[in-house]
Structure 1
Amino acid sequence: MSTQTSANTETPTRFLLPSPTPQSLALAAERLAEHAEDHDREGSFAFEGVAEVHSAGLLTATVAERHGGPGTGLAGTVEILRVLGSADPSVALVTAMTLFTHAAQARTGSWPAHYYDQLLADSVEGPALVNALRVEPDLGTPARGGLPATVARAVDGQAWELTGRKIFSTGAIGLRWLAVWARTDEEPTRVGSFLVRTDPVTGTPGLSIESTWDHLGLRASRSDDVLLDGVRVPLDATAGLTDPAATDPRRDPSLIAWNNLGLTALYLGVAEAAREWLIGFLHERTPSALGRPLASLPRFQDAVGEIDVELTAAVDLVAGLAQRFDDGDAQAGEHSAAAKLIGSRAAIDAVERAVALVGNNALTRHNPLQRHLRDVLCARVHTPQDDSVISAAGQAALARHRLSPGTTHHG
């Protein structure tokens, strides 16, 4: 697997974390798939699924080698998320958030060493899910600009008190660490992430979770609201605390590439699961009037061929860009937004084609295709959304071909 690099020099860690293997990944996916339907139906968080992912060494795959981890790069992460996405995309999504956090730490070291060591210690003891909580009711997604309403107030020069509400907080009920995006009440104000370590036994004073997640897809991700009412964190438990007018760390090209390619791979995994179910259905379905399986008919063969070609091309695009990124090709990161759009559209189109081909059997709750359809539609909501990708691409293309003063275009 590709290894991350960083200019950051830190004291070698005392931790030794397991390296995932293709076999452990396949076994974890097999076990996740056994319970995916039940968790979707109940809208329940897959604690046992997260435990399986942890046992396979997947939750800490992107921990840097200098911290005692395997240092899996983006290409390896893309493969992990695609396989997990085919089994249970909700578990894959909470896994992705944790993998992205470790990968970012490997690159930037933005978490203070003491707190990151504590996260690693928690990861040795058991599953230590972590997520960056950024979205708010009034602000929406911060990717489109604005300051958070969540406020951090300094108390007695000893701690910060966090107050606010975060929505769409993926895996909220299972998180061990929360990186809460907030602004300070100072003058001038600063913005950044405040690191909250939860206590699964006694609870965290001032922190509560409101069960608001009743979504069409990814129901088991339990992306509920997190309420903070004077939650205390130490003064140094911050990451990236800076002037809001400064360069936004969210614009880090590496962070963008990891999110774009990693999450797209997850949804391509969903579409691959739909394709496999469709193939099995067509081999098994033998209408009495036909006397042979639907898979024997040219019309169905062509339709499956369309789906297979579309998914193969999208998977190869995402995997290829991820490998190029690991190899140091900056252009691969620049192309990741386009790959997200292409890959997400391919995944959605493939599942919709499968549904149209199967008909009523595709939409019955007894079969998984309706679940794959609901899950894959969630690909559209992740930042950057299609309109942002298209607008940015159009502006960049036009800027590249802007005419020099005094020239004319003949056409």
Structure 2
Amino acid sequence: MSTRTASPSSTGPSALAEALAKLPRVVDLLAARAEEHDRDATFPYQGVEAVHEAGLLTLTVGQRYGGPAATLADTVQVLAELGRGDASVALLTAFTLLLHAEQDRTALWPAGVYRRLLTESRRGPALVNTVGADPARSLPAADGLPVLARRDGGDWLLTGRASGCAGAEALAWAVVQAVTDEPEPRVGAFLVRGESPGLEVDPVWEQLGLRAAAGHDLSFTEVPVPAELALALRPQDAEPGPAAALGTAWRDLSLAAVQLGVGRAARDWLVGFLSRRTPGNPVGAVAGPVAAPVAGAVVEPLGTLPRYQAALGELETALIGAEELLVGLAARIDAGDQGAVGRTGPAYLLATRAVVDSVQAAVELTGSQGLSRRHPLERHLRDALSGRPHGRCPQTVLEAAGLAALARAGRPQKPSFQQPVRKQA
């Protein structure tokens, strides 16, 4: 196909360079509206539009579809910067970028349907998200029952409920993970238009953070899906293939990058706070030496004191470690290193933990000011804490890492429950 998306005049590397050049301005625009959308829990239409107009929402569309074909390393870079501006917009962008990247790798969507999505993407923002219980993500049971698909002639009807669907009120398409009601159930992805009959948005989103992400519930009441839009159906107990593992790796690093952006935003605010705050002076006072109560003494900003410098350095070190981990693994995956694919789950946990710890440390360092709603630091803390449910279940990641370590050592992977043999008297 020759469909063009990210730029009307260029594709490939040139379109990628043009979009990245616009990134700083987009980040500033997102940051200017983030507090408003968080306070009112309103959907960030202007922010999503800005990301779209910059060509960033279609950055991972493949070159064979006329797109920039951004790599995973590019995607991590972009999402970390968008997360610094507004984590909710970055999260919405991440899910759409992941879909386009997956299509470039697998061509799973029928050609005509994907061409329609690209056409919509030229006209305006076309958000996509995967919803429903996804076996590849190993979601906990608390995420709800799976959406059920039953035959209706040659087509399908979807019934059920999917919780926490970021961007629910503005999705162009939903990729619904559902299980069939056949005698031998299968699982797969069902493509559903956002305005499909029987699909309703239940506005229940009232979370601690990421409030503008509009992660409402989607209710499915016999939503019709043509047979050709039921993709990759497989037995319910079948193991996902290598393509699923690569997709999970992209998701791990992309969502961790959004969180890294939150950590950077908290760091930036803290740097400004320490540069202007002096012992005993009100927040917002002019930076620089200030006359002290004792005649002849000068009070310097907190950032000049070794204690605060060391505390900021600890925070910065944690963020540098998280960034190097994500960027390094992304580059290895782009280079075809299969060993790196299996390490993204632990990397996600390490990076997101580092971000949460860093933002909490910033709050502790600034005291009551860090928790004041007059300043963005408390929002960054809420966003950092609220990013966790979008990733893989931590226990599943840790169990897999433990089993892999046992396998490398040649140890048994499952505990033995054999009873000890009792000697006869």
Specify if TM > 0.5: yes
Structure 1 equivalent of residue 64 of structure 2: 66
Q: Which whole-Å CA distance do the structure 1 matches of 2:47 and 2:257 have between them?
A: 19
Corresponding residue to 1:80 among 78, 81, 85? 78
| TM alignment of 1:386-397, pairs within 5 A | 386-397=394-405
* TM superposition shift of 1:233: 2.0
Corresponding residue to 2:42 among 41, 44, 56? 44
TM-score, normalised by the number of residues in structure 2: 0.86
Structure 2 equivalent of residue 294 of structure 1: 302
Corresponding residue to 2:170 among 152, 170, 174? 174
Larger Rg: 2
- Does the Cα contact within 8 Å between 2:138 and 2:396 map onto a contact in 1? no
Q: Which whole-Å CA distance do the structure 2 matches of 1:32 and 1:109 have between them?
A: 32
Corresponding residue to 1:155 among 152, 166, 171? 152
Q: How many residues align?
A: 385
Query: Compared with structure 1, are the counterparts of its residues 147 and 357 closer, same or farther at alpha carbon in structure 2 (3 Å cutoff)?
Result: closer
Q: Which whole-Å CA distance do the structure 2 matches of 1:228 and 1:250 have between them?
A: 30
Q: Which moved more, 1:177-186 or 1:359-368?
A: 177-186
| Aligned residue identity for 2:396 | S
**Aligned partner of residue 399 in structure 1, secondary structure:** helix
| Aligned residue identity for 1:17 | A
Corresponding residue to 1:259 among 248, 251, 269? 251
Return 5+ residue gaps in structure 2 as ranges: 8-14, 281-291, 293-297, 413-425
| TM alignment of 1:356-367, pairs within 5 A | 356-367=364-375
Structure 2 equivalent of residue 132 of structure 1: 130
**Aligned partner of residue 139 in structure 2, secondary structure:** helix
* TM superposition shift of 1:130: 0.4
Task: After superposition, give the CA deviation of every residue in 1:137-164 in whole Å (9 maximum; x if it has no partner).
Answer: xx9x75358995422223233x322111
Query: Compared with structure 1, are the counterparts of its residues 187 and 233 closer, same or farther at alpha carbon in structure 2 (3 Å cutoff)?
Result: same
* TM superposition shift of 1:214: 0.4
Task: After superposition, give the CA deviation of every residue in 1:336-369 in whole Å (9 maximum; x if it has no partner).
Answer: 1121111111111110110000000000100000
| Aligned residue identity for 2:371 | L
Task: After superposition, give the CA deviation of every residue in 1:155-182 in whole Å (9 maximum; x if it has no partner).
Answer: 233x322111110111100100011111
Query: Compared with structure 1, are the counterparts of its residues 16 and 65 closer, same or farther at alpha carbon in structure 2 (3 Å cutoff)?
Result: same
- Does the Cα contact within 8 Å between 1:112 and 1:238 map onto a contact in 2? no
Q: Which whole-Å CA distance do the structure 1 matches of 2:197 and 2:118 have between them?
A: 23
1:272 aligns with 2:264: yes
* TM superposition shift of 1:109: 1.2
Corresponding residue to 1:143 among 123, 139, 151? 139
Q: Which whole-Å CA distance do the structure 2 matches of 1:249 and 1:210 have between them?
A: 34
Query: Compared with structure 1, are the counterparts of its residues 147 and 240 closer, same or farther at alpha carbon in structure 2 (3 Å cutoff)?
Result: farther
* TM superposition shift of 1:333: 1.3
Q: Which whole-Å CA distance do the structure 2 matches of 1:388 and 1:61 have between them?
A: 31
**Aligned partner of residue 57 in structure 2, secondary structure:** coil
RMSD: 2.1
Q: Which moved more, 1:90-99 or 1:188-197?
A: 188-197
Q: Which whole-Å CA distance do the structure 2 matches of 1:182 and 1:253 have between them?
A: 19
| Aligned residue identity for 1:380 | R
| Aligned residue identity for 1:85 | G
Structure 1 equivalent of residue 31 of structure 2: 33
Q: Which whole-Å CA distance do the structure 1 matches of 2:210 and 2:22 have between them?
A: 24
Corresponding residue to 1:13 among 2, 7, 20? 2
* TM superposition shift of 1:224: 0.4
| TM alignment of 1:220-369, pairs within 5 A | 220-248=212-240, 252-288=244-280, 291-369=299-377
* TM superposition shift of 1:331: 1.4
Q: Which whole-Å CA distance do the structure 1 matches of 2:57 and 2:242 have between them?
A: 22
| Identity across the alignment (%) | 44
Task: After superposition, give the CA deviation of every residue in 1:364-394 in whole Å (9 maximum; x if it has no partner).
Answer: 1000000000001123323323322222222
Corresponding residue to 2:198 among 187, 201, 206? 206
| Aligned residue identity for 1:37 | E
Structure 1 equivalent of residue 11 of structure 2: none
* TM superposition shift of 1:125: 1.1
| Aligned residue identity for 2:361 | R
* TM superposition shift of 1:329: 1.0
Task: After superposition, give the CA deviation of every residue in 1:31-76 in whole Å (9 maximum; x if it has no partner).
Answer: 1111000000011110111111100111111111001111101000
- Does the Cα contact within 8 Å between 2:37 and 2:44 map onto a contact in 1? yes
* TM superposition shift of 1:313: 1.5
* TM superposition shift of 1:23: 2.1
| Aligned residue identity for 1:316 | E
* TM superposition shift of 1:187: 3.0
| Aligned residue identity for 2:237 | A
Q: Which whole-Å CA distance do the structure 2 matches of 1:165 and 1:179 have between them?
A: 13
- Does the Cα contact within 8 Å between 1:170 and 1:223 map onto a contact in 2? yes
Structure 2 equivalent of residue 183 of structure 1: 179
* TM superposition shift of 1:283: 0.8
Structure 2 equivalent of residue 407 of structure 1: none
Q: Which whole-Å CA distance do the structure 2 matches of 1:42 and 1:250 have between them?
A: 42
Task: After superposition, give the CA deviation of every residue in 1:273-326 in whole Å (9 maximum; x if it has no partner).
Answer: 000100100111123457221111111011001111111121011101101110
Structure 2 equivalent of residue 5 of structure 1: none
Structure 2 equivalent of residue 192 of structure 1: 188
